[in-house]
């Protein structure tokens, strides 16, 4: 689940029922259902302007949708056996889409034309997450090969590999200032890294199960993690200390977000 770029107005979700849905936070009302996939919607994100939705599915496609009408504007197909789209993200300008599947190689697409542009080769296992830098010129990916990688978007060149996790990297986010990377891993830890050097700055340890996601607050001072241990934890970036454990779920915590207010 993700909040809209303007904060508390809407939340976007993807489901096993092959749809994505847009919800009003205040009323709980479903505002729009995006129908057209034929398999589980694994990934769902909003563009920065809030006008389009991007989904990735086990039906081997990613789709771009119009928020106002619910119409499917573009479909990107990833052919091949078992080629589930594990994630799909917009570039900041909305011109490009990056997708990842079980073939180990994220792919870059042009939204206006639907053209396939580039493959990013170097990971040794499935790629589960990615995030663009604000200028769109670099992108970060996290993989089952226990690493995160930094790439040049125009060329596909790998600039840096972040190594230190003992299991798959499930989530990856960029700090608001673009100087740090936060990763969450199946090794029950989250790690904060320096983009420039690749050095691990902090390790957030305390979960007893796989860390399914890790996100940073807008001011970059807090980290929020969710785990297979059925808890979410709030951490101080500066000290690495766990400030609060959020308990109450009866199963794994796979997604959460800071509100913008």
Q: Yes or no: say if 79 and 116 are a contact pair by the CB < 8 Å rule.
A: no
Q: Mean pLDDT throughout 19-31? A: 89
Please write the tens of the pLDDT for every residue from 73-117: 999 998 766 678 999 999 999 999 999 988 888 999 999 999 999
Q: Yes or no: say if 86 and 126 are a contact pair by the CB < 8 Å rule.
A: yes
The tally of CA atoms less than 13 A away on the side-chain side of residue 220 is 11
| Dist. CA 26–CA 174, nearest whole Å | 28
pLDDT at 237: 93
Q: Yes or no: say if 251 and 260 are a contact pair by the CB < 8 Å rule.
A: no
> Who has greater pLDDT, 187 or 101?
187
> Who has greater pLDDT, 10 or 241?
241
Asked if pLDDT for residue 229 goes beyond 60, the answer is yes
Strand 127-132: give its sheet, edge to edge: 127-132, 138-143, 147-152, 158-163
Tokens matching residue 241: 């200390």
Q: Mean pLDDT throughout 137-156? A: 96
Q: What percent of the chain has pLDDT over 90?
A: 72
Q: Quick check: do 1-119 and 124-261 share a fold?
A: yes
Mean of all residue pLDDT scores within the chain: 90
pLDDT at 78: 83
Q: Yes or no: say if 86 and 72 are a contact pair by the CB < 8 Å rule.
A: no
| Dist. CA 99–CA 199, nearest whole Å | 27
pLDDT at 8: 46
Angle of CA points 178, 214, 36, to nearest 5°: 95
CATH of 1-119 given 2.130.10.10, 2.60.40.1180, 3.40.190.10, 1.20.140.10: 2.130.10.10
pLDDT at 261: 54
| Dist. CA 183–CA 162, nearest whole Å | 10
The phi-psi region of residue 236 (left if phi > 0; otherwise alpha if psi is between -120 and 50; otherwise beta) is: beta
**Superfamily of domain 124-261 in the CATH hierarchy:** YVTN repeat-like/Quinoprotein amine dehydrogenase (2.130.10.10)
Ranges of each domain in the chain: 1-119, 124-261
């Amino acid at each position: 689940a993700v909040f809209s770029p303007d904060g508390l107005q809407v939340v976007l979700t993807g489901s096993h029922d092959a749809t994505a849905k847009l919800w009003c936070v205040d009323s709980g009302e479903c505002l729009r259902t995006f129908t057209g996939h034929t398999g589980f919607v694994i990934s769902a994100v909003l563009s920065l302007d809030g006008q389009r939705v991007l989904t990735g599915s086990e039906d081997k496609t990613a789709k771009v949708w119009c928020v106002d009408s619910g119409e499917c504007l573009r479909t990107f197909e990833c052919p091949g056996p078992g080629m589930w789209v594990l994630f799909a993200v917009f570039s900041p300008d909305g011109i490009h889409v990056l997708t990842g599947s079980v073939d180990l190689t994220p792919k870059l697409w042009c939204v206006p034309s639907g053209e396939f542009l580039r493959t990013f080769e170097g990971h040794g296992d499935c790629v589960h997450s990615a995030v663009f830098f604000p200028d769109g010129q670099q992108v970060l990916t996290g993989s089952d090969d226990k690493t995160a990688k930094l790439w040049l978007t125009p060329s596909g060149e790998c600039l840096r590999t972040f190594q230190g996790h003992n299991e798959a990297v499930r989530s990856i986010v960029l700090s608001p200032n673009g100087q740090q990377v936060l990763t969450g891993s199946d090794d029950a830890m989250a790690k904060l890294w320096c983009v420039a050097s690749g050095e691990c700055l902090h390790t957030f340890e305390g979960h007893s199960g796989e860390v399914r996601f890790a996100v940073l607050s807008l001011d970059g001072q807090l980290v929020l993690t969710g785990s297979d241990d059925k808890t979410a934890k709030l951490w101080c970036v500066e000290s690495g200390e766990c400030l609060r454990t959020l308990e109450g779920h009866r199963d794994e915590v796979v997604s959460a977000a800071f509100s913008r207010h």
